[in-house]
Amino acid sequence: MGSLRLESKSALVTGAGSGIGAAIAELFAAEGASVIVADVNESAGIETVARIQASGGQARFVSLDVADGQQCSEIAASLIAEGALIDILVNNAGIGHVGTLLETDGDDLDRLYKVNVRGVFNLSKAFLPGMIERGHGNIVNLASIGGVVAVRDRLAYCTTKFAVVGLTKSIALDHALQGIRCNCICPGRVETPFVTARLKEYPDPEAAYKEMASTQALGRMAKPVEIAHAALYLASDESAFVTGTDFLIDGGWTAGK
């Protein structure tokens, strides 16, 4: 058996209490990483840690609101002070809003911007200096298919996710020669607990699933672990020549565009 792909690496994953973030944290730990599970939902984050530890992995929880720049700086400083240096930063935390321009007000846009864009900015800015000082670092951002093509009734969400793609490419270009790689993943629709709960609100959940999945040529939504495997590739040395990319995992959504 070969060595674990993230052996001796440390990773911090935001929004790791559920869905894609939890899948990434669990897969990274299974591949040998020491994982810091970060989330605003303490009970959900602790549950992720418990699953990782029960499987023999290394993990601990930190409470973190990525929209709070001061808190992000304090978390980074605290980890550095205790010698917990982060090799891999996964900016996964994000929120959504349904609505066109006319159905979206300034507060809606600001709310999404603070988490989806400032959250990536805050945490990357907090950890990047330490990565540069050590001469290596890997940032993986979760954008969306809505950061590459427009999605109906998702104006605020698409606006912020297009920004995440731009942030990713700028970080990659500016810091490539300092040993930093930065990429983002752009998933199509993913069957997360949030989506599953939303489907249950429809009179016919099965029909609603089929309608939501129909935008993807494969006729289904992705599973969180399928997105996690893309994150693993980008976080590992196997992708050493990959930076500044927006990695589409969309089930064929954009194949005909």
Q: Give the tens place of pLDDT for each residue, 152-182.
A: 999 999 999 999 999 999 999 999 999 999 9
Same domain as 198, residue 162: no
How confident is the model at residue 113, as a pLDDT?
98
32: exposed, middle or buried (C-beta count within 10 Å: 0-12, 13-18, 19+)? middle
Sheet architecture: strand order including 58-63 = 58-63, 34-39, 10-14, 88-91, 137-142, 180-187, 246-249
The per-residue pLDDT for 212 is: 87
Res 67: pLDDT: 97
Annotated active-site residue in 157, 202, 209, 233: 157
**Do 208 and 106 belong together in one domain?**
no
| Torsion of the alpha carbons at 12, 15, 20 and 25, rounded to the nearest 10 | 30
User: Is 2 among the domain residues?
Assistant: no
Q: What integer pLDDT is reported at residue 196 of this predicted model?
A: 85
Residue 256 lies in a domain: no
For 131, the domain range is 10-187+223-248
> Are 124 and 237 in the same domain?
yes
Q: Specify whether 204 is located in the same domain as 147.
A: no
pLDDT of residue 110: 98
User: Do 62 and 99 fall within a single domain?
Assistant: yes
Beta-bridge mates of residue 139: 89, 182
* Torsion sign, CA atoms 162, 167, 172, 173: positive
How much is the pLDDT for 194?
82
Q: How many domains in the chain?
A: 2
| Residue with token string 């990274």 | 28
Asked if 202 is an active-site residue, the reply is no
Positions of the chain with pLDDT under 50: 1
Together in a domain, 129 and 197: no
Residues 121 and 104 grouped into a single domain: yes
Please name which of 249, 240, 239 lies closest in space to residue 217, comparing C-alpha atoms. Answer: 249
Residue 81 and residue 203 in one domain: no
202 and 112 within one domain: no
